[in-house]
Amino acid sequence: MDKKFITGFIAGAITFSSIGVFAAGGKAIEVFYSIKDIKIDNVSQMPEQKPFTYNGTTFVPLRFIADKLGQPIKYDTNTQTIFIGQFDGEKVYLGDGIKHSDDETTALSYEYSNGSKTVKDKIKKEHSKYLLLKYEPTMTKKPSGKFTFDLNREYTKFSATIGFTEGSGEIDKPIQVRIYADDKRIYAGQITRGKLPADVNLNVTDAVKLRIETDLDSEKSAEIGLFDAYLEQVK
């Protein structure tokens, strides 16, 4: 029986690369390369990455097993989750992975999350990913804005929680928010005084563009957030 010392904790059981075992935790462990063959339906199916035994448990590359079972496998880097079989598409957050390609604004500014701070919504829930819209009316201009995102048919869903930020003022009129997939309106909502943040889940399958439109007919300033807003990529 061959044996070998390997520096680091075993991650080769789930790695998707050609490396069987690699160092991660700085701990020396002893593993045994004692598996001579693997038979699936009585047919030899030995992977290139040699299985090994550690503490009585045999480790076999996970991608090898999934492939032999005919199941897709995916690793989601955002959630650090391995999916075997059915899985949702990968999430691309506004600000982190995608920003708008075009905008038209009047008396309205915006801010994307950049990883350096969190923002609280009206019910004091913290969010590290967001697109803030800041309504700043003047004597002659009322806030409005259009933000266009390039989807190129690469996404299936748009999801966000929409509502006031903790520091937003109490406005006297509703903020209008409309969302379009290409030229089709898929959402129309109002953000009003006392209203809790609302969850939005929209189908954007085959859409080339996503457009968010908003306006406020008021002389008071306000701030809302599209919190944890993400696009889900096609599987």
Contacts of residue 42, Cβ cutoff 8 Å, sequence gap at least 6: none
Average pLDDT of the residues in 77-97: 75
Asked whether the predicted pLDDT for residue 55 surpasses 90, the reply is: no
Residue, of 45 and 130, whose pLDDT is higher? 130
- Supply the mean pLDDT for the chain: 83
Asked whether the predicted pLDDT for residue 13 surpasses 60, the reply is: no
Asked whether the predicted pLDDT for residue 104 surpasses 80, the reply is: yes
> Predicted confidence band at 42 (pLDDT cuts at 50, 70, 90)?
confident
Structure-token pair, residue 74: 């995916």
> Predicted confidence band at 10 (pLDDT cuts at 50, 70, 90)?
very low
Q: How far apart are CA 110 and CA 225, in angstroms?
A: 9
Q: How far apart are CA 179 and CA 187, in angstroms?
A: 5
Residue, of 164 and 1, whose pLDDT is higher? 164
Question: What is the reported pLDDT for 151?
Answer: 95
Per-residue burial over 150-170, b if 16 or more Cβ lie within 10 Å, else e, is ebeebbbbbbbbbbbbeebee
Question: What is the reported pLDDT for 25?
Answer: 55
Backbone dihedral angles phi then psi of residue 221, each to the nearest 5 degrees: -80, 155
Residues 127, 120 contacting (CB under 8 angstroms): yes
CA 13, 18, 20, 22 torsion-angle sign: negative
pLDDT tens, 198-221? 999 999 999 999 999 999 999 999
Cα torsion through 134, 139, 141, 143, rounded to 10: 20
Q: How far apart are CA 119 and CA 200, in angstroms?
A: 19
Q: Which domains does the chain have, with CATH numbers?
A: 2-87 (no CATH), 93-233 (2.60.120.1060)
